[in-house]
Amino acid sequence: MKKLLIFVISLAVIGNFPISASAYGWGYQKNNEGAPPDVGFYGQLLSEYDGFYIDESGDKEIYLTFDNGYEEGYTGKILDVLKEKDVPAAFFITGHYINSAPDLVKRMNKEGHIIGNHSWHHPDFTTSSKARIKEELDKVESAVADLTDQEEMLYLRSPRGTFNKKTLDWTREMGYINTFWSIGFVDWNTGEQKGWKYAYDSLMKQIHPGAVLLLHSVSEDNALALEKLIEDLRGKGYTFRSLDHLMMKKLLPRGSYWY
């Protein structure tokens, strides 16, 4: 799957931005009126390097993604809800998470979720060498392959949300698709959780067709809000899809993808 997608993407590449050492931190102007956020020039930049932050089709589809740097005891609950509601997700994990929660990594895979690469040590890629980045990513991919039957990784979430043209170019060359997001909020501070309603409201007011949601699994609020979030979004006509579905939509003519 990874080799096929990268090959097809490479056929569509027209040109590259010049490599630059500038560092960017992913961000955008939130839109609370049912429309995608304004990401400025980041959108074109990601497109040039075959990354994405949104499903641009306009379809009422949602993509759930979680960042898992370490475990606080809530991922099991999150997986329970996803299984009960039959919702696919992608979990971007680090080396620390693999070492500390191998059973949860196995469960993610067993229950049909995508495991994405969030690097081994979570370094700033914009200050890392190409060799260091490759080592970080290879180590996660190898460890996950040893634990599960997912033999390769396609999706990458840049540590700390930092990137530049150089890191986008290098990681694409390594076979990864940079995966950013169009909806998120400050949910990772475990000492400042504000209740499930705050998490629910923060996400619902940003919802738009084609949204890629970023949630952190260390948030108790997210775990408690997830079931209602799924139910209410379905009530509004949204369907939950996997990142593989999004990639098929990007690569194939409209109407020819099958899942």
d(CA 107, CA 138): 21
- The answer to whether 113 and 82 are in contact (CB under 8 A) is yes
CA 247 to chain centre: 12
List phi, psi (to 5°) of 112.
Answer: 90, 15
- Other C-beta atoms lying within 10 Å of the C-beta of residue 174: 17
Q: Quick check: helix, strand or coil at residue 15?
A: coil
Q: What is the three-class DSSP state of 179?
A: strand
CB 37 within 8 A of CB 29: yes
What positions carry a catalytic annotation? 67, 216
CB 203 within 8 A of CB 174: no
Entry field: residues in the chain:
259
Give CA–CA dist 217/188, Å, rounded. 8
Instruction: State both tokens at 26.
Output: 């992913």
Cα–Cα distance for residue pair 208/238, rounded to 1 Å = 9
For the chain, the distance separating the N- and C-terminal CA atoms, rounded to the nearest angstrom, is 14
